[in-house]
Each structure stands twice: as structure tokens, then as C-alpha cells.
């Protein structure tokens, strides 16, 4: 292909840069349509911000962060179905069910009374929520009805806490339901987070069919869940996968303002008919031609901010809760998951150390702290102390002993999901023709999640297919 040309029908070649969820969703969608795809990933392994490491002492795959999905992740499950993820690979609830523990171990149950259309089950679940006063529950019920009638929606630029106060949500209901939902889906403090994005979550998960709000937890490591099946799918369709291959910048034709290919870190250049940039926003900015970096929309890529997530992985002598996971109210740690219960495997054994054979190595917990601005700079010992204090203060029964502990910090886990950032998210099309944005940060109308990444990847693939030569 020469610079500025269009592809000859049937020869369209697409470069997908970045092998996270967005890149893999885009690449597999294109490969499914018979397009020639080349995938470029700077890291030695694919998966980006949703991937597994191996930690021997933890006895299996450890993910960079425990991921919780929802049944309403339509594009994510479309992607999973394409690459053949079996249903046994994740645990999907029959109806929404979450136990929220308060300091001292008292539990509030957030649930849906079975799977009903039009939120009947969720309403019944709300009505029987214990330890929350009836007036708070009735106001939440009324608020749900108002939202379904198109009333009470957030103003543009409004933040979550002022919105919920304005529509009469009690501080108790915010404490046990709204704030945990905000932390989990927007990765940000409710005082700072964009209310419009929480509204998008409500619309998708809570206002239509009750089944949409069900939680989904992977039963295998993230790489086994979707990364390896994606790579197998791509290889089987003749796609080329370049790992450990950083792209240095996008090539373009300055006359036509068209993307023409990629310059790689090793000095080589490759021509393509379309490019999907499935990268974090600051990376897209750095790879753009210098002349474009200061142009209005491209410049915004540098100003989406970021919000951290810290994950703990720990082996403990006993799990202090029943069930697969618990949420924690007003706590530095937001969720704790019993990994081996979820995976359906028995904890490994280890040498007892006294020559008496093999002993129980402890059970594996993983804990998530969203919007972890206050903890992300603390060292491992300090973080272990935080975790031990939470185990002491939020649970009842004999003390829980931590036998092994690791903290994984993702400083830029997501963009900052504040009103200022929300106004700066860009669409699929870039300032270069033939170069498309993908990634969870793209303006999908959703928070930056796996679902947003899959949706953005699919949208970029569709946009590439609309180019001349791809019909
Ligand atoms: C700890 C943690 C917990 C999370 N929990 C949840 C959750 O519970 N539920 C949920 O829905 N979402 C969750 N998320 C968010 C979710 O993981 C992300 O939204 C999603 O993985 C983003 O995918 P992506 O493809 O947009 O970006 P990325 O995964 O960042 O992919 C971009 C890829 O581009 C590569 N790259 C960068 N520069 C170059 C270059 N120059 N050349 C080539 N390749 C390059 C990177 O190595 C990376 O692989 C969590 C995120 C984290 C970090």
C-alpha cells in the first residue's frame, strides 16, 4: 500500500495495537469476518490490565486484579462466545446476591428475590433488606420508579454524592448500597465520581430485567478465561501475533491526513490499511504524529487522569465468611473473595517443616480496593497491616492468621471517572483517517470496564470494516 491509498478489495489488512480486552475483542471480531489481522503488543504476554501472573507460593494463577463482571456485560459475553469461553469458566449468579459486612460483622443482604422482569425481584429484595430503616428502603424504591419514568436523572457534570442527596437517598442507603456500587463500577470516591456514569450502570444493570444485575466471577485466571482462547482463535484464522513488540509511532500521510502504518521500536516500518489503537489514552497520544499531538481532540488524550486499584492476595489459616465473596461497608478494603471456593479446587498442601509430612498451606483470599488513592503508595508491610486490621474488625470468630501476603498495585487501573474526564473521552474515530480508538476509556457511555473495552473494540472493528476495500 502506498501512503494515502485505499485498500484493494479483499486485501485489507488491519493492525491492532494493544492486546488487552479491547484489542482482543477487535482483532477476533475482524478475524471472524475473514480480515487479515496483525496484533502488536509491547508486553511479553497479552491481557493488558486484565491478565494472570504465576505465583508458585499462591498455588496457581494470580490475576493482576480480581475482576467482577455483571450479567449485563453484553459485548463482553458476545466476545467470550466468539472465542469459545465455556460457561463453566465463570460463576454466574441465579439472582443478584451480595452480603455487605459492617465493622463488627453485622451483615446487610443486597439481593433480588429471584429473576423477574421489570425490576420486581430487585424491589422485593430492597423491601426485605434488613438493618436499613423502612423510610430509607421506600425512598430507594421510589427513586428506582422515578428513574424508570425518566425522572430524577443526574445533571450534566453532577457528582454521585450530591446527586443521591438531591434525590433523597438516605446516608444509610448510600453507605450500604450506593457507595459500594459507585466504588465497584466507577473506581472512584462517590464525592468525586461522575453521576452520569452511575446512571449508565443503573440503566444497564438495574432498570430493565432483574437478571441483568447478577454478578459474574471468573472461576479461572483471567489469562485462561479469555486471553489464551483469543490468541488460539486468532492463530486458527491466520492472524499474526507479535508479542514483545512495542509500536513507536503511527505512520501517516500528511497530505491526506490518513494513517498508513506503524513504526516499530526495532526501527522497521509496516504498512496497513487500517489501524486500531487499543491502547491507554496517554500511549495513543505518544504514538500520534507530533503535529497532531497539540490538536484539540488528540491533546485531550493526555488529560483523562487515572485512578488506582490495589489487590491483595493472601493465604490465611481460615476463611472468616461463608459463601464465595463479601462486600465490606465503610472499610478500606471493598471486597474479599474466597478464590479456591470460586474455582472449586482444594487448597494445596506444603511440607510441614517438622518432617511430619504435608500440611494445609492455607486458603486463598483476594481483596480489592478501588479508587485506592490513599493506599497505593504504602509498602507491603503497611498494606498487610491494613488487611490484618480489616480481618480483625469486620469479621467475628477466632482471629484469622495471614500466612502469605502479596499486594499488586495498578496505579493507572482506569481513567479518573469524574465529570471533567467524562467530558474529554473521545469517540472511535481519530484525527487520522483509518486510525480508530479502542480501549475502555473511549466514550462508550459506560464506565471504564471490561464491558466498555469490549464495546469499544467491537465499534473500532466495525468502523474499520466500513473503509473502502473491506466490504
Ligand atoms: C486491578 C484492576 C481491577 C479491575 N477490576 C475490574 C472489574 O472488576 N470489572 C471490570 O469490568 N473491569 C475491571 N477493571 C478494568 C478492566 O481491567 C479494564 O477496563 C480493561 O482491562 C481495559 O482493557 P483495554 O484493552 O482497554 O486496555 P489495556 O488492558 O490497558 O490494554 C492495552 C494494551 O496495550 C499495550 N501497549 C501499550 N503501549 C503499547 C505500544 N506502544 N505498542 C504495543 N502495545 C502497547 C499494553 O501492554 C496493554 O496490553 C480492573 C482493572 C484493574 C487494573
Q: State pLDDT tens for residues 79-99.
A: 999 999 999 999 999 999 999
Q: The C-alpha cell of 85 is what?
A: 469461553
- Number of neighbouring beta carbons within 10 Å of residue 283: 18
Q: The C-alpha cell of 153 is what?
A: 436523572
Tell which one of 67, 216, 275 to mutate to probe ligand 1, the residue whose CB is within 8 A of the most ligand atoms: 67
For residue 305, how far is its CA from the centre of ligand 1 (angstroms)? 15
The ligand 1 atom at the shortest distance from the C-alpha of residue 184 is 8
E strands, 329-423, are 335-338, 349-351, 358-360, 363-369, 402-414
Q: What is the Cα 211 distance to its own chain's centre? A: 20
Angle of the 228-236 helix axis to the 74-83 helix axis, nearest 10: 60
Distance CA 84, CA 78 (A): 10
Q: Where in the chain is the domain with CATH 3.90.660.10?
A: 307-414
Strand partners, 36: 13
pLDDT digits (tens, 9 = 90+) for 306-359: 999 999 999 999 999 999 999 999 999 999 999 999 998 877 776 665 566 666
Q: The C-alpha cell of 35 is what?
A: 480480515
What phi and psi, each to the nearest 5 degrees, are found at residue 104?
Answer: 95, -5
Q: The C-alpha cell of 144 is what?
A: 428506582
Q: Where in the chain is the domain with CATH 3.50.50.60?
A: 13-53+221-305+417-465
pLDDT digits (tens, 9 = 90+) for 9-62: 446 899 999 999 999 999 999 999 999 999 999 999 999 999 998 776 677 778
For residue 21, how far is its CA from the centre of ligand 1 (angstroms)? 7
pLDDT of res. 177: 96
Look up the CATH architecture of domain 307-414.
Answer: Alpha-Beta Complex (3.90)
| Longest distance between any two alpha carbons in the chain, whole Å | 76
**CB 383 near ligand 1, within 6 Å:** no
Look up the CATH architecture of domain 13-53+221-305+417-465.
Answer: 3-Layer(bba) Sandwich (3.50)
Tell which one of 15, 18, 21, 187 to mutate to probe ligand 1, the residue whose CB is within 8 A of the most ligand atoms: 18
**CB 422 near ligand 1, within 6 Å:** no
pLDDT of residue 2 exceeding 60, the answer is no
Distance CA 81, CA 231 (A): 14
The ligand 1 atom at the shortest distance from the C-alpha of residue 452 is 19
- Number of neighbouring beta carbons within 10 Å of residue 146: 14
pLDDT digits (tens, 9 = 90+) for 144-175: 999 999 999 999 999 999 999 999 999 999 99
**CB 447 near ligand 1, within 6 Å:** no
Amino acid at each position: 500500500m502506498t501512503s494515502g491509498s485505499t485498500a484493494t478489495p479483499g486485501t485489507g489488512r488491519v493492525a491492532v495495537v494493544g492486546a488487552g480486552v479491547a484489542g482482543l475483542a477487535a482483532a477476533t471480531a475482524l478475524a471472524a469476518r475473514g480480515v487479515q489481522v496483525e496484533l502488536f503488543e509491547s508486553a511479553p504476554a497479552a491481557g493488558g490490565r486484565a491478565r494472570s501472573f504465576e505465583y508458585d507460593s499462591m498455588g496457581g494463577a494470580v490475576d493482576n486484579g480480581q475482576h467482577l463482571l455483571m450479567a449485563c456485560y453484553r459485548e463482553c459475553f458476545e466476545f467470550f462466545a466468539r472465542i469459545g469461553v465455556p460457561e463453566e469458566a465463570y460463576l454466574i449468579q441465579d439472582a443478584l446476591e451480595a452480603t455487605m459486612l459492617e465493622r463488627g460483622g453485622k451483615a446487610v443482604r443486597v439481593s433480588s428475590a429471584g429473576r423477574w422482569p421489570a425490576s420486581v425481584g430487585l424491589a422485593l429484595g430492597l423491601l426485605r433488606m434488613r438493618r436499613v430503616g423502612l423510610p430509607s428502603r421506600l425512598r430507594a424504591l421510589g427513586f428506582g420508579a422515578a428513574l424508570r419514568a425518566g425522572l430524577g436523572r443526574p445533571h450534566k457534570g453532577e457528582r454521585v454524592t450530591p446527586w443521591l442527596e438531591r434525590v433523597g437517598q438516605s446516608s444509610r442507603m448510600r453507605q450500604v448500597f450506593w457507595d459500594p456500587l459507585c466504588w465497584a463500577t466507577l473506581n472512584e470516591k462517590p464525592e468525586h465520581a461522575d453521576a452520569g456514569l452511575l446512571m449508565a450502570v443503573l440503566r444497564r444493570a438495574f432498570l430493565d430485567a432483574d437478571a441483568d444485575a447478577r454478578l459474574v466471577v471468573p472461576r479461572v485466571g483471567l489469562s485462561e478465561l479469555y486471553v489464551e482462547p483469543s490468541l488460539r482463535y486468532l492463530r486458527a484464522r491466520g492472524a499474526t501475533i507479535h508479542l514483545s513488540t512495542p509500536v513507536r509511532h503511527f505512520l501517516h500521510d500528511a497530505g491526506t491526513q490518513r494513517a498508513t502504518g506503524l513504526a516499530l521500536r526495532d526501527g522497521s516500518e509496516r504498512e496497513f490499511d487500517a489501524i486500531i489503537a487499543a491502547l491507554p489514552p496517554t500511549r495513543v497520544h505518544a504514538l500520534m504524529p507530533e503535529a497532531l499531538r497539540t490538536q484539540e481532540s488528540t491533546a485531550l488524550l493526555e488529560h483523562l487522569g487515572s485512578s488506582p486499584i490495589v489487590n491483595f492476595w493472601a493465604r490465611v489459616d481460615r476463611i472468616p465468611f461463608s459463601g464465595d465473596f463479601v462486600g465490606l461497608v465503610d472499610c478500606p478494603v471493598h471486597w474479599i473473595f474466597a478464590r479456591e471456593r470460586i474455582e472449586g479446587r482444594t487448597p494445596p498442601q506444603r511440607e510441614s517443616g517438622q518432617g511430619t509430612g504435608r500440611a494445609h498451606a492455607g486458603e486463598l483470599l483476594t481483596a480489592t480496593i478501588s479508587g485506592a488513592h490513599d493506599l497505593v503508595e504504602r509498602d507491603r508491610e503497611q498494606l498487610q497491616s491494613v488487611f490484618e486490621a480489616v480481618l480483625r474488625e469486620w469479621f467475628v470468630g477466632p482471629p484469622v492468621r495471614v500466612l502469605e501476603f502479596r499486594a499488586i498495585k495498578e496505579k493507572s487501573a482506569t481513567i479518573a471517572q469524574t465529570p471533567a474526564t467524562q467530558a474529554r473521552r473521545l469517540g472511535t474515530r481519530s484525527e487520522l483517517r483509518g486510525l480508530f480508538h479502542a480501549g475502555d476509556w473511549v466514550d462508550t457511555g459506560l464506565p471504564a470496564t471490561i464491558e466498555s473495552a469490549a464495546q469499544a473494540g467491537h465499534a473500532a472493528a466495525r468502523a474499520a470494516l466500513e473503509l473502502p476495500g473491506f466490504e
